[in-house]
A and B are shown apart, each in its own frame.
Chain A
């Protein structure tokens, strides 16, 4: 199958591979140990999947805000997003 029209690049392929890996890992985790909804600092009860979604969406916004606000390296935004993701998954 010719996928030239999709204009793949290595960074975007790695990005989607990482997302797919996260989803596969979450599914395996869910099967091994089903999630229990709980309430953390987020203003509602959340499951593990909810917190992953909120974490990923928040990470996207952190990167966009970083791009909008200055010219500093995007790796710093990536670091902040990792911290945000960990905080949401653990304490959200």
Chain B
């Protein structure tokens, strides 16, 4: 590419930069300041340098939480993206009551607040009174999400899939609806199979919305806090304690503001790296720019 880019238009976004500065940059600067000090209260801070960073990096609980978090995010993406696309492909197209009804039904889980979702699933998964938990036990399965780590994991995953697959489906549906009918007509004339239509027309045309879906679901799942906190409280043991819950315990539970700040910076860098790699990889795939 030989054409130079002129970035002067970025000056027009200065007002947004000013707003972001107050809502994000100043708090981030404060966290960096806290991460190198021992904070006892306002005006009572003592310089400790990199001590908190060393402490956090040597903490095995952090490594375990990070591993759990990565596994969780990968599982969420592996289930929700294909499932969302499959649902979008099955949805009725065009105008009509069927389309409207499907869209409303799909949007419903997205309207429910995170803590309410946690509560719904806490009751739903209970072995004594919960519809899901009791049904599984009646089927002869030894299901107990409060005592068994695997059951807890599967329940948290199922909850996330229930809550957020709709978002992927709606985004993929929007992508599908934007494909001009001429593409399908051309495929029909060429005698293309259903799979070929999906692989060479629908999937490439959904690329833009799927990039957004993957990034949103990755970042959201990587920062998940409320639902597992309400559903399992991070247990049994630490089986479903993810990074944000670990961080909150440190900052609010133990009032270790310096250590929690160092942890936050590392957490921020991890999210930044993963998001950048994901974004770069996804935007280059299929454009002939990926090696």
User: What is A's interface to B at a CB cutoff of 8 Å?
Assistant: 4-9, 11-12, 15-16, 30-31, 34-37, 43-45, 47, 53, 57, 60-61, 64, 67-68, 74
Q: How far is the CA of A34 from the CA of B8 in the complex (A)?
A: 9
- Chain A minimum-CB-distance residue to B53: A67
Q: How far is the CA of A8 from the CA of B34 in the complex (A)?
A: 8
What are 16 A-B interface contacts by the 8 Å CB criterion?
A5-B30, A9-B36, A9-B37, A31-B8, A34-B4, A35-B5, A36-B5, A37-B1, A37-B5, A44-B289, A47-B5, A53-B276, A57-B273, A64-B53, A64-B269, A67-B54
Q: Which residues of B contact A44 (CB under 8 A)?
A: 280, 284, 289-291
Q: How far is the CA of A9 from the CA of B53 in the complex (A)?
A: 17
Q: Is B50 an interface residue (CB 8 A)?
A: yes
Q: Is B210 an interface residue (CB 8 A)?
A: no
Q: How far is the CA of A57 from the CA of B271 in the complex (A)?
A: 11
Knowing A5-B42, A7-B45, A47-B5 touch, does A64 contact B266 (C-beta < 8 A)?
Answer: yes
Q: How far is the CA of A11 from the CA of B289 in the complex (A)?
A: 41
Q: How far is the CA of A43 from the CA of B264 in the complex (A)?
A: 29
Partner of A36, one of B2, B50, B57, B266: B2
Q: How far is the CA of A75 from the CA of B262 in the complex (A)?
A: 19
Q: Which residues of A contact B42 (CB under 8 A)?
A: 4-5
Knowing A9-B37, A57-B269, A64-B266 touch, does A45 contact B1 (C-beta < 8 A)?
Answer: yes
Shortest CB-to-CB span from B85 to chain A, Å, is: 25
Q: Is B136 an interface residue (CB 8 A)?
A: no
Shortest CB-to-CB span from A55 to chain B, Å, is: 12
Q: How far is the CA of A60 from the CA of B269 in the complex (A)?
A: 8
Interface size for B (C-beta < 8 A) is: 36
CB of A7 within 8 A of CB of B284, answer no
Q: Which residues of B contact A36 (CB under 8 A)?
A: 1-5
Q: Is B116 an interface residue (CB 8 A)?
A: no
Shortest CB-to-CB span from A72 to chain B, Å, is: 12
14 new A-B contacts, CB < 8 A, other than A34-B5, A36-B4, A68-B58, are A4-B42, A5-B42, A7-B30, A8-B33, A9-B33, A9-B37, A12-B32, A12-B33, A31-B8, A43-B291, A47-B5, A64-B266, A67-B54, A67-B57
Q: How far is the CA of A71 from the CA of B269 in the complex (A)?
A: 22
CB of B276 within 8 A of CB of A57, answer yes
Partner of B33, one of A7, A35, A37: A7
Q: Which residues of A contact B5 (CB under 8 A)?
A: 34-37, 47
Q: How far is the CA of A7 from the CA of B258 in the complex (A)?
A: 11
Q: Which residues of B contact A53 (CB under 8 A)?
A: 276
Q: How far is the CA of A44 from the CA of B287 in the complex (A)?
A: 11
